[in-house]
Chains A and B, each alone.
Chain A
């Protein structure tokens, strides 16, 4: 069973739709700690403001639950950011799974628009999450903050400079892009996660 963590931080429905398209029937949308602990896989989606999302996670008593999970966990977009050490968005401490910090895009180049919105390529892919995905494959991003490149990076992208498109440590994975909106490439990445 796949648990989709519901903490009032956006695009749950898009993720549910993507699972349905993959033929996954055994999932539950929940903020119940017991249900999350007993799931085979945990998906933590999120859009919007990281400090708001972190506050919502705490309000549901989940900030201690998530880091203790032992099954594969995938954070999407803000979900990834919450698994990092800290975020400049609201200057918050995050869950600290990944040692990388989340910072705002900064560029003096007017051609580098913020938010980073649209399809960008990912490279330096190194994880079973990207099984069958080619170097340079395009995925869909929408964000103004990003995790820096670091030891946990398993994919990078470039928007006025390199940043972590995906992170991995132990049983925790995070993708900054939206696999649920990234066509067949995104569907494959979600499928790879489900099959971990």
Chain B
């Protein structure tokens, strides 16, 4: 059986990672390659690098960084942030990214999913959905969850799959940053709707939260940032605990 995946997410601004304060033995926690290598050595199954640069210069620096990541890291990695065209995707593929993640651009222009998938394969395209539950309905949102769209989570995820997405990265904006756990019933319903893998993001505060979303929530992977960056739950500890709960992870 394919193992459940644990994926640290690193935010990158102007070519430097912006979180990650508690690592002993790292010369430069801002160095995205070194931090990624550290996570890989600890047992991360994949990495996600999210470009949060606001400037064109920042974006250019990110592409150069992607080349260095590809050269230095021996596990798969996804890049996201600001990808809005086939050309953006091609540039990052050429730099060595294994997958790209698209979010707002896919909402604005759903054809983009199919364009990228038909050129580079579905395995290259992750569609990220930041959804917020408003009066019982999950709306896909933009701008960090502040702007709801008319796309409903389940139908949008199905549409993304039909258009060629290889994975769905779902973040509940009601739970993101709360550390109160994931909405497992929503994740499970989403898994029943889709045939492609689901990455759960946003809300993990404990090992139990992650275990729950991988079992009850039927997610294929769990992505997190702060619990790893601040060393609260080291990946080896997390994986050992998941193994104890009979969850199939790579050790």
Sample (24) of A-B pairs whose CB atoms are under 8 Å apart: A13-B96, A14-B70, A14-B96, A17-B71, A17-B96, A18-B74, A21-B72, A48-B121, A49-B121, A110-B192, A113-B2, A113-B220, A116-B2, A117-B167, A118-B45, A118-B221, A119-B45, A120-B1, A142-B123, A159-B2, A181-B76, A182-B75, A183-B75, A184-B74
Whole-angstrom distance between the alpha carbons of A20 and B68 in the complex?
12
Q: A47 to chain B: which residues have CB within 8 Å?
A: 121, 123
B2 in complex: contacting residue of A49, A120, A186, CB < 8 Å: A120
Contact mask B202-223 → A, CB, 8 Å, 1/0? Answer: 0000000000000000101100
Contact size range, B: 20 to 34
Please classify the interface of chain B as helix (H, G, I), strand (E, B), loop, or mixed, using the class held by over half of its residues: loop
Given contacts A110-B195, A138-B250, A181-B74, contact A115 B122 (CB under 8 A): yes
Which A residue's beta carbon lies closest to that of B197?
A113
List chain A residues, Cβ under 8 A from B250: 119, 138
B247 smallest CB distance to A (angstroms): 13
**How long is the Cα–Cα vector from A114 to B161 in the complex, in angstroms?**
12
A180 contacts the other chain (Cβ, under 8 Å)?
A: yes
A141 lies within 8 A of chain B by Cβ: yes
Given contacts A119-B250, A120-B1, A138-B3, contact A181 B75 (CB under 8 A): yes
Chain B residues near A173: list those with CB within 8 A.
Answer: none
B5 within 8 A of A: yes
Which residue of chain A lies nearest to B70 when distances are taken between CB atoms in the complex? A17
Residues of A within 8 A of B220 (CB): 113, 118
Q: C-beta contact mask, B24-63 vs A, less than 8 Å → 1, else 0?
A: 0000000000000000100001000000000000000000
- Chain A: residues with Cβ within 8 Å of the partner, total of 34
**Which chain A residues numbered 103 to 133 have a C-beta less than 8 Å away from chain B?**
110-111, 113-121
Annotate B66-83 by CB proximity to A: 1 below 8 A, 0 otherwise. 000011101110000000
